[in-house]
Amino acid sequence: MRDRFRRFMYGRYGSDSLNRFVSIASLAMMAVALLTGAGALYWLGLCLLGWAYFRMFSRNISRRSAENAAFYRLEYRFKEKWRAARTRFAQRGIYRYYRCPQCRQQLRVPRGRGRIQITCPKCGTQFVKKS
């Protein structure tokens, strides 16, 4: 039996991070739909689960790899923003954060220094803010 499945999966894409994420999200949607009675959410979860199986059994490996790479890029952006927000929240008592009015670069200045002139290291714009 195991050998038959191995032969069946030969040349197929298999599972990856995007498949795991979509499968868990679809099962969570279907569970919420069963608890709340939202039929549309159940069908959406079922469609997502079908898409995950389609990706798993697909023979177009290059396309599935590209989809997974796009998922990794999106996941990285989300994790970076989350990490930056956590760092900023942890340092909220020590630093103030401003954006440069010219280039929108985020700048960090120490708190409690009164009115200070801030120079953007990226574009050289100078502006005055209260720290």
pLDDT tops 90 at residue 9: no
| Summary mean pLDDT of the chain | 91
Using alpha carbons, list the distances in angstroms from residue 95 to 21, 77, 124.
Answer: 36, 24, 21
For residues 70 and 108, membership in a common domain is answered with no
For residues 64 and 122, membership in a common domain is answered with no
For residues 21 and 77, membership in a common domain is answered with yes
For residues 59 and 12, membership in a common domain is answered with yes
For residues 116 and 71, membership in a common domain is answered with no
The residue-averaged pLDDT of 36-41 equals 88
**Number of structural domains found in the chain:** 2
For residues 67 and 106, membership in a common domain is answered with no
Structure tokens at 15: 């599972």
pTM over 0.85: no
Return the pLDDT at 109.
92
Question: How confident is the model over 39-56, as pLDDT tens digits?
Answer: 889 999 999 999 999 999
For residues 86 and 106, membership in a common domain is answered with no
pLDDT tops 90 at residue 12: no
- Closest of 12, 8, 9 to residue 60, by C-alpha: 12
For residues 85 and 103, membership in a common domain is answered with no
108: domain range?
95-131
Return the pLDDT at 70.
96
Do 80 and 97 meet the contact criterion of CB atoms below 8 Å apart? no
First to last CA, the chain: 69
For residues 84 and 118, membership in a common domain is answered with no
pLDDT tops 80 at residue 35: yes
For residues 46 and 109, membership in a common domain is answered with no
